[in-house]
Amino acid sequence: MLKAENLQKTYRRHAVQVQVLNDLNLEVRTGEFLSIVGASGSGKSTLLHLLGTLDAPDRGRIFLDGKRIDDLPARERDWLRNRTFGYIFQFYHLLPELNMLDNVLMPAYIGHSLLNWWQTRRQWRRRAEELLKKVGLAHRIKHRPRELSGGEMQRTAIARALLMNPRVLLADEPTGNLDVESGGEIVRILRDVNRAEGVTIVMVTHNTEIVSATDRVVRMVNGVVIDDTQPKQPWQQPRLAAV
Ligand code: ADP
Ligand code: MG
C-alpha cells in the first residue's frame, strides 16, 4: 500500500552534512501494523516524515497504492495529509488553549471551507465525541490539555488522528513519554483500531516491549531498513535479530 523506493535524505547545515537515509526501501502492506525500531538518531522520524509527505526525500520515490506521492503539488499533498494520513507524535502536539473536543476537531476545521464546516459541524462534533469515548475520555471533553495526564493527552491525539477516517496512521514514538501502563494502553488502542477498522499503522518506537503487539518489526540501521522476518538467501550471513 505504501512503498518507499531508494530513499536518500541528507540534512545540511552550513558545512555539516548528515546522511540519514541511504538508499532505503520499505513496503507497508494494507491493514498491517508495522513497527520500526532503531537507535536514537538512526533516522526513524525522518523516514516517517517522508512517508507522510511532511518532508521530501533528496532522491527516491514514495508510492501510495502505486501512485507517486513524494512530488505532489501542494494542494494534493495537503489533501493527503488531511484525509489519508493520521499523525501521532511523542509530545502529542495538542493546542493548549483548546479543550479536548476542539483539539480533536482541528483536522475537520482545517479541512473544510467555512460554509462547509458550518453545514457539517454537528456531524463532526458527534464523531469527535464518539472517538473521545472510544479512547476512554468521554468525561474529559471540556478539559484543556494541561489538566490531563500524558496518557490522556496521547489518547486525545489518537482521537484527533482518527477524525478524518485516515487509511494510514503514522505514530512517532507514541509511548516515548509515558509510563509502562499508559504506554501499554496506547498500543492496545492502536491495535484495536488496526483490527477493528483495518487502518494501516506504521509505528516508530525504541520500546522493544511494545513491538510484540504488532504484526511485523523492522530495524533501521545505517540509513536502511532491515527486515529480519524476510526469508534469507542461503548465501547471506545469518544475522541475529535485535528485537
Ligand atoms: P530518530 O528519529 O531515529 O532518532 P531522526 O530522523 O530524528 O532520528 O534524525 C536522524 C539524524 O538526522 C540525527 O543525526 C539528527 O540529528 C539529524 N537530523 C534530524 N533532523 C534534522 C534537521 N532538520 N537538520 C539537521 N539534522 C537533522
Ligand atoms: Mg525520532
Q: Is the CB of 38 under 6 A from ligand 1?
A: yes
Q: In the chain, how many domains are there?
A: 2
Of the three residues 103, 133, 164, the one that is the final residue of a domain is 164
pLDDT in tens, 51-75: 999 999 999 999 999 999 999 999 9
Rounded to whole angstroms, how far apart are CA atoms 69 and 190?
A: 25
Task: Report percent pLDDT > 90 for the chain.
Answer: 88
For residues 213 and 189, what is the distance between their CA atoms, to the nearest angstrom? 11
pLDDT value, residue 232 = 54
Q: What is the DSSP letter of 199?
A: -
Task: State whether 66 and 8 are in the same domain.
Answer: yes
Q: Is 41 in the pocket of ligand 1 (CB under 6 A)?
A: yes
Residue-level pLDDT at 13? 87
Give residue 181's domain range.
1-84+166-243
Say yes or no to pLDDT of 109 above 80: yes
Is residue 229 very low, low, confident or very high in pLDDT (cuts 50, 70, 90)? confident
Confidence of residue 228 (pLDDT cuts 50, 70, 90): confident
Q: Quote the pLDDT of residue 231.
A: 60
> Whole-prediction pTM value?
0.92
Say yes or no: 8 and 57 in one domain: yes
E-assigned strands of 14-69? 16-28, 33-37, 59-64, 67-68
List, for residues 134-161, the tens digit of each pLDDT value.
Answer: 999 999 999 999 999 999 999 999 999 9
Q: Single out the residue in 164, 185, 209 at which a domain terminates.
A: 164
Residue nearest to atom 25 of ligand 1 (CA): 11
Query: Closest Cα to residue 70, out of 59, 84, 81, 56?
Result: 56
pLDDT higher than threshold 80 for residue 165: yes
Q: How far apart are CA 127 and CA 145, in angstroms?
A: 20
Mark which of 164, 190, 208 sits at the end of a domain: 164
